[in-house]
């Protein structure tokens, strides 16, 4: 009889954990999407061909208080988006959760269809034919 309450407690703990992990992931995704929608462009850099531009954005997590500070540990403060001249989004780095993009002192560069931007490991790049 003494083993049954411990088994129930273990099962209850496992259920709570199984519900908590997806809830935390869902919260992370919702906050990431919200911060993406509210991000403000800091600087816009045009390509030589004038067919696209790259914008550096800063996500603002301050509205979340302490949770925002924790959220910043798992997300980059800056990210980049490449747009065509008609406003179509061509590429974004905001979902590269493992990277720390952006260096305020270094501007992204266009080399024809190649775009170089500062990342956590030096320069990161994209090949976007629309920018040629």
pLDDT tens profile 112-127: 999 999 887 788 899 9
Cβ(33)–Cβ(85) below 8 Å:
no
CA dist., res. 126 & res. 99, Å (int): 15
Q: In Å, how far are 52, 54, 84 from 88, measured between CA atoms? A: 9, 12, 5
Supply the pLDDT for residue 36. Answer: 82
Cβ(98)–Cβ(126) below 8 Å:
no
Name the more confident of 72 and 131.
Answer: 131
Cβ(109)–Cβ(115) below 8 Å:
yes
């Amino acid at each position: 009889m003494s083993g049954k309450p411990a088994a129930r407690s273990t099962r209850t703990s496992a259920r709570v954990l199984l519900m908590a992990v997806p809830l935390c992931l869902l919260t992370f995704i919702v906050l990431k999407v919200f911060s993406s929608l509210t991000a403000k462009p800091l600087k816009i850099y045009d390509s030589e061909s004038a067919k696209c531009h790259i914008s550096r954005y800063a996500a603002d997590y301050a509205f979340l208080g302490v949770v925002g500070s924790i959220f910043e540990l798992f997300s980059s403060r800056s990210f980049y988006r490449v747009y065509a001249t008609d406003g179509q989004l061509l590429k974004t780095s905001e979902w590269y959760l493992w990277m720390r993009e952006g260096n305020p002192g270094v501007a992204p560069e266009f080399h024809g269809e190649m775009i170089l931007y500062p990342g956590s490991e030096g320069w990161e790049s994209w090949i976007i034919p629309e920018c040629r």
